[in-house]
Structure 1
């Protein structure tokens, strides 16, 4: 599990593309991999990946084709900047909301409005997932825990404060950029439960 508070960003050092999976090599930020053991879970752009522990200077992960199909990791290139977060410990503070690192879909940036050191970003949302996007509810975007400021039939908006822009790769987004979307599991459970109850009554 993760808190949705990105601790570091780093660049892709190398990508090895095999038939059934990719191997990602990421520059390890200072002290990020201290006591990070082989097999540990790390959030990379919001995707829960298993650390293969092949290097002390780099973070290495294997990404299967199924994950590549439903996330933006397939868009990564050498030099791409990714968000990183280590998994929570029992004593950890949860500054955002609980996130699993299981991405349901991707979303495209439709519009970016900047004002001084803040930004409001408009994202697309498909019909399959729009019911799980609620105003003032949570959503995970590239591993960042964010609050949905408003929504309409096909889009939703988030506001980014200077600290978020400084500490994450969301500052590098442009119109057309693809982000990973993790829906809030509590919202999903409530919406699905209500739908099932209404379906049984009809």
Structure 2
């Protein structure tokens, strides 16, 4: 479990491809390494990955081809920065919302507008996922807990305060890039239950009419 509050932006020291996927080496700070063990779950750019190696401050993660295809990790290169969040403890304060690091889909970034007082990002998700996103609803974008400001069909707008820009990787993204999207799980369950209920009830009502 994660909170969607990015703890640090860290550089990718290396990206190595192998037959079934890629190995990502992220350079952690001393503070981030505290208590970190092999097999621990870490949120990297919104994706829950397991620690496969620790050598000094370099921490490695493996991502299979299926993960690379479903997320934007496949586009990352050595030297890029990534959002990092260690898994949350039950006693930790949750300043964002509960996220799992399981990416639902990727969104095409259509616009990012950066100003002194913050930024605006607009992105488009596939139609089948748009039904789970609502104005003022929670959304995890690249592992960052954010609130949706505007909705226009499957085009969504989010406003970022300067502190969010400083603490995340959004500044390096440009129009055309893909963003990792995790929809709120409770919202998804609620929408699916309502859809199934309406589908079962409506045919009965039509038949009675």
Give the TM-score, by structure 1 length.
Answer: 0.97
Q: Quote the residue 1:13 is aligned against.
A: 13
Q: Quote the residue 2:89 is aligned against.
A: 89
The whole-number CA distance in structure 1 between the counterparts of 2:13 and 2:53 is: 15
Most deviating of 147-156 and 168-177: 168-177
How far off its partner does 1:145 sit?
0.2
The whole-number CA distance in structure 1 between the counterparts of 2:8 and 2:177 is: 20
> Could you say what the CA RMSD is over the residues aligned between the two structures, in angstroms?
1.0
List gaps (5 residues or longer) in structure 2.
203-209
The whole-number CA distance in structure 1 between the counterparts of 2:109 and 2:65 is: 24
Give the TM-score, by structure 2 length.
Answer: 0.94
Does 1:164 find its partner at 2:164?
yes
The whole-number CA distance in structure 2 between the counterparts of 1:85 and 1:117 is: 25
Matches within 5 A, 1:30-179: 30-179=30-179
Larger radius of gyration: 2
Most deviating of 189-198 and 111-120: 111-120
Kept in 2: contact 1:33–1:56 (CA 8 A): no
Most deviating of 50-59 and 91-100: 50-59
Ranges of 4+ aligned residues in structure 1 off by more than 4 Å = none
How far off its partner does 1:126 sit?
1.1
Number of residues of Structure 1 aligned to a counterpart in Structure 2: 202
The whole-number CA distance in structure 2 between the counterparts of 1:61 and 1:44 is: 9
